[in-house]
Structure 1
Amino acid sequence: MTNTPNLSTAVRYLRAVLEGRLQVYTGQAKEVEINEIAYLKDESPFANFIVQHRPSFEEYVVLLLALIVHIRPHFFTQLIAEFLPEGGDLPEFGGVRLGNHRGILPTGETALFVLAGDDLEKRLEIQRLLGPEHWLSQKHVLRLETTREGEPTMSGLLMLDSEVVELLTTGTVSAPRFSIEFPAERLLTEMEWNDLVLLPGTQQQIQEIQNWITYSDTLLQDWGMRKQIKPGFRALFYGPPGTGKTLTASLLGKHTDKDVFRIDLSRVVSKYIGETEKNLAGLFDKAENKNWILFFDEADALFGKRTDIRDAHDKYANQEVAYLLQRIEGYNGLVILASNQRANIDEAFARRFQTIVHFPVPGAEERYRIWQKALPAQLEIAADIDWHQVAARYELTGAGILNVAHYCAIEALADRSCRLDLHRLKSGILREYSKEGKVI
């Protein structure tokens, strides 16, 4: 359902609240008469947001002050002009003009004026509402922009989170784009669980993770375990490249309706002191309360063993690890770290994993099953190819087998034979062995 009816209601409601305050300011009234929120109780994203968060009158007005410029850029300018028809300034109202926007943008001072007027006690109450401990800030809904040194705190802009703006206007929130501020890409796959071949023990541990994703809210909320159990889940996937770690993370997201983001560690880790923590803070702040799955591939670079302190570099490297421990433990979703070797991961992290999953090189039976799934049905298989024998002789990972299957299928299409013989299969395997530095 569209947000339009509720946005129209919000515009009229906020105008009435501001008119009431301006009438008090100009002596036309003694007090602002509106003290309850007003919205249409429909099934729109706007209404659902209000029902979910249940804002007070003051919180609702602050939200609308920050939202209104996104749907009515001239709103404040026009309203003030009506009350000051001969021109003039209204410094008590606050607000600033910035950059490309030609209208007035609301500040903390705007919220103080509209909700408290000259009432000092009420103004202090609104200041606390705009503070970092309030749920508006804690849930990354709205924050007060930090001002330059020497400027009043309340002169900072009212900043509504961009995703909240999208939700309350268009009704949909687009997935974040890969950028310096968000160094992660969304993982998607068209494969299914039956396309992934894992050892029974590994498969059982993955099912346990899927169970946590499915039932964690019930456990924490309905069963009242929030006091005893931290809300997040941390898993370590370790094993050689090509054994299914990334695909497993993708499938977990696909089958639990969670977005999976692979973190680009090259954009996160910085040689400059404090920059790595800053990059990670932005990443986790963006992901907070989204129920995303965060996948740190090749995590050794960031989550490796801490060293003895020999110089300043070691000291700050260890601080980065400590900071990561704090943020990962505080994240309320699923965090997956992937590494080629379990021994590369700092033990301080290992103790905090709910599960550690080994992805070994597949055995002969698993390789046989992968070969059966990897080749397209349109490819005619020569009679002298014994897949049990091929699987037993050539130790390839799942990714390696897929690479060989891809090569053989392309070559069969290129020569229009649509046929796979033993010679071509061995050529494909030899190419893959050469890539990995192995000899047949």
Structure 2
Amino acid sequence: MTEEGIIYKELEWLNQFINYILPDKAKDESEESDGVENSETISPPAVPPQPVPLADYAALRGKGVYVVDLLFELTFSERLVLALTLAQYVAPEIYQKLIVEKNMKQSLVIGGVNFHHSYQGFIPTIETAIYLLSHCDEGGHVKFSIKLKMLKLFDANSTLINKNIIQLESGEGTLPYTASALKVNPFVLNKILWNESYIPALSSSFPAEKISTHQDWDDMVVNRKTEKQLEEILSWVNQRNAMRSVPAVARKVLPGYRALFYGPSGTGKTLASTLIGKLTGMEVYRVDLSKLVSKYIGETEKNLKQVFDIAEQHEWILFFDEGDAIFGKRSETSSSNDRYANQEVSYLLQRVERFPGTVIVATNFKTNLDKAFLRRFQTLVHFPSPSEETRKMLWERVFNDEIPKDGEFDFKFFAKNFELTGANIVNVLQQAMVLGFEENEGLIGKPQLTRALTRELNKLDKLDTKTERKLIYEYEECC
């Protein structure tokens, strides 16, 4: 059976279930009033229709069919809630009887909301799910005890909510909790419908974006101490599941791994993070702090929760660039703003500590971070400004044999005389290549390289008369 067939069966069961709850009484009554016997009316079943037995899907379990593995995690009631929520995306016609019943009787217990005036469809709520399930358990009579039992399906510890399968979308703040609309998590929806991963767009509600690199580990030039520390992080990521399988270790060691990368801009912190993801087969998401931090009370924590919950579910590596903006030192609480800012930092501390995956925080200045954060990092990796020897390696790697050059260059001269980072040298390559295409048939010659380097030094305020003379005249003489 295909994913499409499985989804169809689940929705067919939902449709039968709604017909069981709301049989076509209107048709029966109209035909009886005309004195005509209704021989075609299908009587509802005496007992609630049952879903397809999980045994029928057993052959596909554990073979990469997401929807099958998901169904095996769910109870009868949870399967019905999932089917009810899923119908709005692929089979909204299933809601027709619920819409008619609600409009005819103005029934509050059926629930259903419409947050957007331009959308005329039906969006199920917690009330809708409870209405169906309560009828199932009590033959059509909603009992208070059953309603309380059904509400447990939507608390923070339930499978559907805790595993972020179903999301609750609240309307106006004055509406009761049970009026929350049911939505399928976009990541889960993509996996159910197409068995594909969903890559969310960067937004205020999801302040993170996927980052990757075409470079390899050999392209990264750092000193041996830094490289050794990065290899330790790789080892943890590769062995994380093995460590969790040892109960004695799992009880004593906090879940996850937290690393701080600190050092000047352009020294390889972001590249190292993306390469760790590339080598371990894990996706790296960079948290955009400009979209994460909100001026509204509670919104920053809400945005953080969204990122951490989804990252935990998909085993992403979270990368916080310029982390001191959010991981900074807590201040004295002299005002309400200070108090809320400190609450955000405290919440972040808790989420980072509980996160079972890898968190990498990058900052230019380690001293700007709160000491409480520093204690929680397993590794502090220093990315220093490159030494002369490292700079020479960077020049050689960036301007390697694959780069179209018009002649040979003395990279030892550049490394000795100009204190540039890897990012600066890449900028020189980009500008020199543009000049090469404009002036030298796509080749980088001495004039192009010299002018590109001059511009980069000028941008960094490192170009004075002495430097320029050294760059132009000494380089021409020696090279």
> SS of the residue aligned with 2:197?
coil
CA-CA distance at 1:401 after TM superposition: 1.5
C-alpha deviations, 1:126-147, integer Å up to 9, x for none? 1111222212111111144446
CA-CA distance at 1:8 after TM superposition: 1.6
Aligned to 2:416: 392
Aligned to 1:91: 107
Partners of 1:2 and 1:170 within 8 A in 2: no
- The 1:24/1:259 distance shift into structure 2, 3 A limit, reads same
Aligned to 1:65: 84
- Counterparts of 1:348 and 1:406 in 2: how far apart (Å)? 41
Compare the two structures and name the one with the higher helix fraction: 2
CA-CA distance at 1:232 after TM superposition: 2.1
Greater mean alpha carbon deviation, residues 186-195 or residues 409-418: 409-418
> SS of the residue aligned with 2:362?
strand
CA-CA distance at 1:148 after TM superposition: 5.1
C-alpha deviations, 1:370-417, integer Å up to 9, x for none? 11111153534545x432233223221111112222222332332226
Correspondence 1:262-341 to 2 at 5 A: 262-341=286-365
C-alpha deviations, 1:45-87, integer Å up to 9, x for none? 3213224xx1111111111111122111110215787xx8xx9
Aligned to 1:8: 8
- The 1:218/1:395 distance shift into structure 2, 3 A limit, reads same
Structure 1 unaligned segments of length 5 or more: list them: none
Greater mean alpha carbon deviation, residues 222-231 or residues 161-170: 222-231
C-alpha deviations, 1:22-45, integer Å up to 9, x for none? 469999665436377556343533
Aligned to 2:50: 34
The one-letter amino acid of 1:107's match is: T
Correspondence 1:233-272 to 2 at 5 A: 233-272=257-296
Partners of 2:405 and 2:443 within 8 A in 1: yes
> SS of the residue aligned with 1:59?
helix
Aligned to 2:38: none
> SS of the residue aligned with 2:314?
coil
Aligned to 2:472: none
Question: Quick one: which of 171, 175, 178 aligns to 2:202?
Answer: 178
- The 1:125/1:341 distance shift into structure 2, 3 A limit, reads same
- Counterparts of 1:225 and 1:50 in 2: how far apart (Å)? 32
Aligned to 1:355: 379
Question: Quick one: which of 56, 63, 67 aligns to 1:46?
Answer: 67
The one-letter amino acid of 1:17's match is: F
Greater mean alpha carbon deviation, residues 283-292 or residues 222-231: 222-231
Partners of 1:196 and 1:244 within 8 A in 2: yes
- Is 1:106–2:131 an aligned residue pair? no
Partners of 2:385 and 2:421 within 8 A in 1: yes
Question: Quick one: which of 74, 80, 93 aligns to 1:55?
Answer: 74
The one-letter amino acid of 2:111's match is: G
The one-letter amino acid of 1:66's match is: T
- Counterparts of 2:198 and 2:253 in 1: how far apart (Å)? 31
- Is 1:165–2:165 an aligned residue pair? no
- The 1:32/1:388 distance shift into structure 2, 3 A limit, reads same
> SS of the residue aligned with 2:251?
coil
CA-CA distance at 1:237 after TM superposition: 0.6
- Counterparts of 1:34 and 1:50 in 2: how far apart (Å)? 14
Q: How many correspondences in the alignment?
A: 433
Question: Quick one: which of 189, 192, 211 aligns to 2:235?
Answer: 211
- The 1:421/1:21 distance shift into structure 2, 3 A limit, reads closer
C-alpha deviations, 1:229-288, integer Å up to 9, x for none? 332221111011110011111111222222222222222234444443343333334433
C-alpha deviations, 1:343-390, integer Å up to 9, x for none? 11111111111111000111122212211111153534545x432233
Partners of 1:237 and 1:356 within 8 A in 2: yes
CA-CA distance at 1:193 after TM superposition: 0.8
Partners of 1:408 and 1:420 within 8 A in 2: yes
> SS of the residue aligned with 1:74?
helix
C-alpha deviations, 1:87-117, integer Å up to 9, x for none? 9438376132524444433222332232222
> SS of the residue aligned with 1:179?
coil
For normalisation by structure 2, the TM-score amounts to 0.81
Greater mean alpha carbon deviation, residues 353-362 or residues 265-274: 265-274
- Counterparts of 1:161 and 1:19 in 2: how far apart (Å)? 27
- Counterparts of 2:341 and 2:294 in 1: how far apart (Å)? 10
> SS of the residue aligned with 2:313?
coil
For normalisation by structure 1, the TM-score amounts to 0.87
Greater mean alpha carbon deviation, residues 56-65 or residues 216-225: 216-225
The one-letter amino acid of 1:329's match is: E
- The 1:270/1:202 distance shift into structure 2, 3 A limit, reads same
- Counterparts of 2:98 and 2:294 in 1: how far apart (Å)? 48
- The 1:405/1:328 distance shift into structure 2, 3 A limit, reads same
- Counterparts of 2:246 and 2:372 in 1: how far apart (Å)? 31
- Counterparts of 2:178 and 2:297 in 1: how far apart (Å)? 31
- Counterparts of 1:313 and 1:106 in 2: how far apart (Å)? 38
> SS of the residue aligned with 1:32?
coil
The one-letter amino acid of 2:220's match is: L
Partners of 2:222 and 2:386 within 8 A in 1: yes
CA-CA distance at 1:181 after TM superposition: 1.2
- The 1:154/1:268 distance shift into structure 2, 3 A limit, reads closer
Partners of 2:109 and 2:127 within 8 A in 1: yes
> SS of the residue aligned with 2:273?
helix
CA-CA distance at 1:424 after TM superposition: 4.4
Larger Rg, first or second structure (1 or 2): 2
Correspondence 1:130-149 to 2 at 5 A: 130-146=154-170
- The 1:381/1:370 distance shift into structure 2, 3 A limit, reads farther
Q: CA RMSD in A?
A: 3.0
- Counterparts of 1:419 and 1:155 in 2: how far apart (Å)? 66
Partners of 1:130 and 1:143 within 8 A in 2: no
- Counterparts of 2:299 and 2:161 in 1: how far apart (Å)? 23
- Percent identical: 34
- Counterparts of 2:244 and 2:368 in 1: how far apart (Å)? 33
CA-CA distance at 1:161 after TM superposition: 1.7
Partners of 1:74 and 1:103 within 8 A in 2: no
- The 1:147/1:398 distance shift into structure 2, 3 A limit, reads closer
- The 1:92/1:318 distance shift into structure 2, 3 A limit, reads closer
Aligned to 2:431: 407
- Is 1:379–2:397 an aligned residue pair? no
> SS of the residue aligned with 1:255?
helix
- Counterparts of 1:157 and 1:287 in 2: how far apart (Å)? 23
Partners of 2:219 and 2:397 within 8 A in 1: yes
